[in-house]
Structure 1
Amino acid sequence: MSDQHPDAYDASTYPSVFVTVDLAVFTIRNGALSVLLIERGDEPYAGRWALPGGFINPDEDAEQAAWRELAEETGVEQWAGHLEQLKTYSAPDRDPRHRIVSVAHVAFAPNLPAPVAGDDARNARWWAVDDVVGGEDAPELAFDHAEILDDAIERVRSKLEYTTLATEFVEEPFTLAELHRVYAAVWGRPPSLGAFRRKVISTKGFVEATSTKGGTQAVGRPATLYRRGGAAILQPAMLRQHATEPGAGD
């Protein structure tokens, strides 16, 4: 271990590296998994769509910066959804301005409002994920945000397999039909309805039934309303079905 005095440290001998946060913010709108994008107003990539984000302030850590950016980009001051760190993106050429490292985050919550564009954005809006990833008129995203978005989508889809976080996409109280529609929207293919109901109800702490009824079931009876339970992990997992597998949506 070096015994060099701290005053002898010369920061100028090291190249400057800037740190930002980027945010893949998801909600479900009109039955579709949707992501928040902003249209950049400044160079680089002026006019292109991008994930919201910004530089980390000197008095912030990455999580604090992410919470701040969420409030600024969504207009929701008291964030009630889920936020977690996704991955660090550090390719030397990912930003043409400087050497910039991004700590990307994933966030999702139910019924998020229409966003208001910040000072450096021309526009901000929700996009259906299918229109951004593989859509006929999919926008070309700025920086490496297409890669970040792909990783974020897979993170959310896999999270629904082995955790109870699907309940963060619905407002309480909710019906099992509403929760089932979350899986259909996020995975793109609904899980078998019968197996889904059995899994949710039989998993201790997944959901908790309330004392009230709401909505209407297919047979005309009022549906049971639920709230989030205390469990975090699904064991065993509820695996999604892919297009080549039989039985999806039964």
Structure 2
Amino acid sequence: MEYPRPLTTVDVVLFTIVDDALAICLVQRDQAPFRGRFALPGGFVHTDEDSDADAAARRVLREKVGVKDVHIEQLYTFSGRARDPRDWSVTISYCAVAPNEGIPRKSSVRLVPVKDIQALPFDHDRIVERAVERVRSKASYSSLPAFLLPRHFTYPQLQRVYEIATGESLDPSSFRRKMLELQTIEPVQLENAQVTRGRPPQYYRLADRTLRAFQRKI
């Protein structure tokens, strides 16, 4: 006996920083429904190619945005008859984070501040809302915001990206002590560091490229 099969897709909310604000990546759809509209990077699961949904999400980011080797994690599963005009569907959504300079510039890709997101196709507004909640929460107790920075960064840059990700102001002294206590970053010497005046800034990098969770919030 053959049973009806729902459409199965993945959708990715890729976060970055634009003009000192949390932003997400949108791609222009090249086919119906909603042809020409900008939406979250997404697509059907390729059962002959993707080993699992995670692999499908990474493939979508690689093919439609041009990024790879980013932190990505499963967010939530959205389903129902109303979310896609083509048929009853289920989408496995993901959160990903990447530095601004790591996202290729092309006409089919837009980086839009979260505060300016509105009326996306399908149920992508709901997915974005859930993703923002996840990022805001996880930024308060993990090294997640650091993945929004370039490989090398200063302490002020690190603190600012945490403030953008959490939506809160942080005391510089307390923040520095917390980062040192957690040992999530390590100093690095850059030969060609830019110096405007005085001593060159101290640069840092993540101690490792895996996500670290803290015991207490920052």
TM-score (norm 1): 0.77
In the alignment, does 2:216 pair up with 1:236?
yes
Match of 1:26 in 2: 15
User: SS at the partner of 2:110?
Assistant: strand
Alignment match of 1:225 (pick from 174, 193, 203): 203
Distance 1:47 1:192 in 2: 44
Contact 1:39–1:48 (CA under 8 A) maintained in structure 2? yes
Unaligned runs of 5+ in 1: 1-9, 118-122, 133-138, 239-250
- In 1, Cα distance between equivalents of 2:26 and 2:181: 38
Do the aligned partners of 2:22 and 2:113 also contact (CA within 8 Å) in 1? Answer: yes
Using the TM superposition, give the Cα deviation of residue 47 of structure 1 relative to its aligned residue in structure 2, in angstroms: 4.3
SS at match of 1:57: coil
For residue 172 of structure 1, report the CA deviation from its aligned partner. Answer: 2.2
Give the aligned residue type for 1:127.
V
Say whether residues 1:58 and 2:47 are aligned partners. Answer: yes
Aligned-pair distance for 1:197? 1.3
1:215 CA displacement? 5.5
Aligned residues: 212
Q: What is the aligned-residue identity percentage?
A: 38
Aligned to 1:182: 161
The AA in structure 1 aligned to 2:216 is: P
AA paired with 2:82?
D
1:35 Cα deviation after fit: 0.6
Q: Are 1:75 and 2:59 an aligned pair?
A: no
Question: Greater Rg, structure 1 or structure 2?
Answer: 1
- Whether contact under 8 Å (1:48, 1:140) holds in the other structure is no
Match of 1:195 among 162, 169, 174: 174
Question: What SS does structure 1 have at the residue aligned with 2:102?
Answer: coil
Calculate the aligned-residue CA RMSD, in Å: 2.2
Aligned to 1:85: 74
Greater mean alpha carbon deviation, residues 149-158 or residues 28-37: 28-37
Q: SS of the residue aligned with 1:125?
A: strand
Query: Retained in 1: the 8 A contact 2:145–2:165?
Result: no
The answer to whether the 8 Å contact 2:76/2:94 transfers is yes
TM value normalised by structure 2? 0.87
Equivalent pair of 2:41/2:65 in contact (CA under 8 Å)? no
Looking at structure 2, the residues matched to 50 and 151 of structure 1 have their Cα atoms a distance apart, in angstroms, of 16
Counterpart for residue 37 of structure 2: 48
Match of 1:246 in 2: none
Q: Contact 1:209/1:224 (CA < 8 Å) preserved in 2? A: yes
Residue aligning to 1:152: 131
Give the superposition deviation at 1:189. Answer: 3.2
- Say which SS state the counterpart of residue 185 (structure 1) adopts: helix
| Counterpart Cα distance in 1 of 2:216 and 2:172 | 17
Contact 2:83/2:123 (CA < 8 Å) preserved in 1? yes
1:93-112: CA deviation from partner (whole Å, max 9, x where unpaired): 21111111000011111123
Partner of 1:172: 151
**Paired residues of 1:84 and 1:107 also in contact (CA < 8 A):** yes
1:10-39 Cα offsets, whole Å, 9 max, x none, are 2x2x11212100010111123221111123
> 2: distance between equivalents of 1:56 and 1:116?
24
